[in-house]
């Protein structure tokens, strides 16, 4: 086992560029796409193409900006439309006297959130105008005073009586891209089994004192080692250098990462059992793996994917379970009891994939 492990280590030591590339990509992708962690308000351009557009913009701008999620900025119409067309922003709002129009180039989850909020503001304003006979500002002031001293108020608290944690897309993308890139690193290392079999090294090692079990263990243990090392390094970089807050139980996140790595090694072994050459593995594995984050909803806010078939397919792979467990620990301070189910499911996936994968490889050789 250890000679095989050492041989794989020496290969990466002589040519470390592949491992370094995946380490770097995990960090770069998270930095590029997780700017929501540092930008608490999403800017949305607003403009009016009406004849009295300036008055309409000045009317709705303060009403729309009464929130903590979006920042509505008065923008020139041509600039706002061009930014949406080029993908610089997801949407813009064309304001009218008592109506609005969403300008968007593609259907994005954030657009639905913007539309829901803008619709609620326009609806509330329409109700005030319907209730006001003459002075709408007086009615609005009376309503605000009443709401500030309402007879009933709803307060949301966590189970322990503290403040409810808000969902953080920056943390979600950090875990998502880190786990996603680790799948590639682990898969290409597990593919070393197929490389040795095709090149004839595997058969020559069988004649040595190293047992077949030792050869499998050496390859898979090294794949686990390099995959977990990548997860550890990336998470440490973001917690220590970029000051990402991953909660108070970083050790529990590392346990989840270790179980996920073990399960991913087994999943890659299953892919190995279905192909005959290393090239086939690279094609099949590289084609299937990028679909998993989409099925698992890694890049989207929670609840975006509601199709039961897609959710069932995502649950067959360890990525969705690892994301659920890590997010619960980082955002909600979950303990062992809360993450027991995702960990057990990842272990179960690993056991099944490893058993079937090794069996398929050995049967093909026979």
User: In angstroms, how far is CA 146 from the centroid of its own chain?
Assistant: 42
pTM: 0.71
Residue pair 263/231 in contact (Cβ under 8 Å)? The answer is: no
> Which pLDDT belongs to residue 324?
93
- CB under 8 Å, gap of 24 or more: what pairs does 192-195 form? 192/8, 192/11, 192/219, 192/222, 192/223, 193/219, 193/269, 193/272, 193/361, 194/272, 194/275, 194/277, 194/278, 194/281, 195/278
> Which pLDDT belongs to residue 37?
42
What 3-state class would DSSP assign to 42? strand
Arithmetic mean of pLDDT, 202-227: 79
pLDDT of residue 239 exceeding 70 = yes
Q: Compute the Cα dihedral for 140, 145, 147, 151 and give only its sign.
A: negative
Task: Calculate the CA dihedral of residues 352, 355, 360, 363 and round it to 10 degrees.
Answer: -150
> Which pLDDT belongs to residue 38?
42
pLDDT of residue 112 exceeding 50 = yes
Distance CA 6, CA 41 (A): 50
- All structural domains of the chain, each given as residue ranges with its CATH number in brackets, are 2-36+166-365 (no CATH), 41-148 (3.40.190.10)
Tokens 């105008």 found at:
129
| 245-282 residue pLDDT tens | 888 899 999 999 999 999 999 999 999 989 888 899 99
Distance CA 173, CA 36 (A): 10
| 285-300 residue pLDDT tens | 999 999 999 888 888 8
Residues paired with residue 44 on neighbouring β-strands, in sequence order: 72
Q: What phi and psi values does residue 104 have, to the nearest 5 degrees?
A: -145, 145
Q: How many helices (H) and strands (E) does the chain have?
A: 16, 4
Query: pLDDT category, 301, cuts 50, 70, 90?
Result: confident
Measured in residues, the chain has a length of: 366
Q: How many CB atoms lie within 10 A of CB 75?
A: 19
| 34-85 residue pLDDT tens | 654 444 467 899 999 998 889 999 989 998 988 777 889 999 999 999 998 8
DSSP 247: -
> Which pLDDT belongs to residue 260?
97
> Which pLDDT belongs to residue 197?
75
Give me the sheet containing 91-95, strands edge to edge.
70-74, 42-47, 91-95, 100-104
Q: What phi and psi values does residue 294 have, to the nearest 5 degrees?
A: -70, -45
């Amino acid at each position: 086992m250890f000679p095989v492990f050492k041989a794989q280590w020496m290969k990466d030591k002589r040519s470390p560029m592949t491992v370094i590339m995946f380490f770097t990509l995990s960090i770069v992708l998270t930095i590029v796409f997780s700017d929501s962690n540092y930008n608490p308000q999403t800017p949305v351009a607003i403009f009016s193409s009406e004849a009295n557009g300036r008055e309409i913009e000045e009317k709705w701008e303060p009403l729309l900006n009464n929130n903590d999620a979006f920042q509505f900025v008065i923008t020139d119409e041509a600039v706002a439309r061009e930014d949406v067309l080029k993908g610089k922003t997801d949407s813009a709002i064309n304001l009218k006297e008592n109506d609005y129009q969403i300008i968007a180039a593609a259907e994005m989850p954030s657009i639905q959130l913007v539309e829901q909020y803008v619709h609620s503001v326009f609806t509330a304003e329409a109700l005030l105008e319907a209730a006001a006979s003459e002075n709408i500002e007086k009615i609005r002031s009376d309503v605000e005073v009443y709401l500030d001293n309402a007879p009933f108020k709803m307060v949301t608290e966590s189970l322990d009586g503290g403040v409810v944690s808000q969902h953080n897309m920056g943390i979600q993308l950090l875990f998502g891209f880190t786990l996603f890139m680790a799948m590639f690193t682990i898969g290409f290392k597990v593919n070393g089994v197929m490389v040795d079999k095709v090149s004839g090294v595997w058969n020559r090692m069988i004649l040595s004192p190293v047992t077949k079990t030792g050869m499998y263990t050496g390859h898979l243990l090294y794949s686990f080692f390099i995959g977990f090392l990548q997860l550890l390094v990336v998470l440490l970089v973001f917690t220590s250098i970029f000051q990402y807050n991953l909660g108070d139980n970083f050790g529990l996140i590392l346990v989840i990462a270790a179980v996920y790595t073990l399960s991913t090694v087994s999943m890659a072994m299953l892919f190995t059992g279905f192909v005959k050459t290393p090239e086939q593995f690279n094609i099949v594995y590289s084609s299937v793996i990028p679909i998993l984050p989409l099925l698992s909803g890694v890049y989207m806010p929670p609840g975006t994917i509601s199709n039961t078939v897609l959710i069932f397919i995502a649950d067959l792979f360890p990525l969705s379970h690892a994301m659920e467990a890590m997010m619960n620990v980082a955002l909600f301070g979950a303990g062992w009891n809360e993450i027991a189910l995702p960990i057990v499911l990842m272990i179960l996936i690993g056991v099944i994939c490893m058993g079937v994968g090794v069996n398929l490889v050995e049967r093909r050789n026979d």
